[in-house]
Structure 1
Amino acid sequence: MAPNSDVYHPQDALKAGINGALISGSAGAFASAIQNTLHKKNIGALGFITRTGSTAFIMTAIGGTYEFTKYASANLREKNDTYNTAIGVGTTPAVLGFGTLAAVVLSAFDYTGGALSGYKRDPNVDEFERKEHLRKNRRIPIEQTVAELGEGRGYDERRRERIKERYGIDVPARS
């Protein structure tokens, strides 16, 4: 798992739930407005509320439920880990009837560091020193590599010798 601090700090689940509902509700209203503009009939300006408003409502409920449950489970378990994300997203299908694939995907995303670009580097370590350490750590002199691995024969030579030894057949060398 991703490294976490040992001390747990409680978080406001209600505030996170409202914040999640507002953010996902805004995204839902935007998606509803897009659905409204793509209708073949003229529905009107308030069609994104009256006709396709269920999209905004469902997304609001999903975001609010997810955020609240994630932080509430973190507070109850007194741990801030990947399982909270799985619990948060896993309750959404129970409430609204959607699939649990979102629980798996978001938990994996949270487990891998919560960023598409990978783990965040330590801000206290100088980047130049970190790269120099990596270069020194990974460089092995060629003499040491040859001494460990040897300059021995390749696969073809070993195969040829093995066939000659077992079956007495000379296999011609490939050119």
Structure 2
Amino acid sequence: MVDVYVDNTKVIDDFEPGTLTKTFRIPAGSYTLAITAADAPDASAPVIGPVDLVVASGMNYTAVAHLSEAGVPTAALFTNDTSAPGAGQGRLTVRHVAAAPAVDVLANGAPAITGLTNPNESVLVLPVGTISAAVAAAGTTAALIGPADVVIAKRTNTIVYAWGSLADGTLALAVQTVATK
């Protein structure tokens, strides 16, 4: 577990890896993010950061504490696409935040995203429905994660995170949904 500080104020206590937390509304501006060991007395000895983040007005973001490809703790700020995906469609965003090399994302057994590297994302607009998704090493079809059913819903950006560590055998998925217009 870890604690999360924004501008030296604890905003999340005892956060567990692989979980998602409540939404925060903050004004546009610059912020400093620091992640400490659980129950640290303050943000002076972070395990990640401090990281300076700039937040624009009217945007939707997700801050992610994760491992780099090499397994080093780090953080990234992703912008969530809230634009309308189109009639009868939803958006699928896949984010690679795992200590692992490039991956391919398989949808219903076929490569849908190829060569995705940490800390990047790939976005697809898909028909509403459920797909069977898996993550495989780039160029292969042997699942490292999954398969798992992923619901593509209208007016929704379904965001799937591949996180954890390949070397430690802790690869997993976390799913977030963000409303679109």
Short-chain TM bin: under 0.3
Instruction: Select the structure that is richer in helix.
Output: 1
* TM-score normalised over the length of structure 2: 0.20
TM-score (norm: length of structure 1): 0.21
Larger relative strand fraction: 2
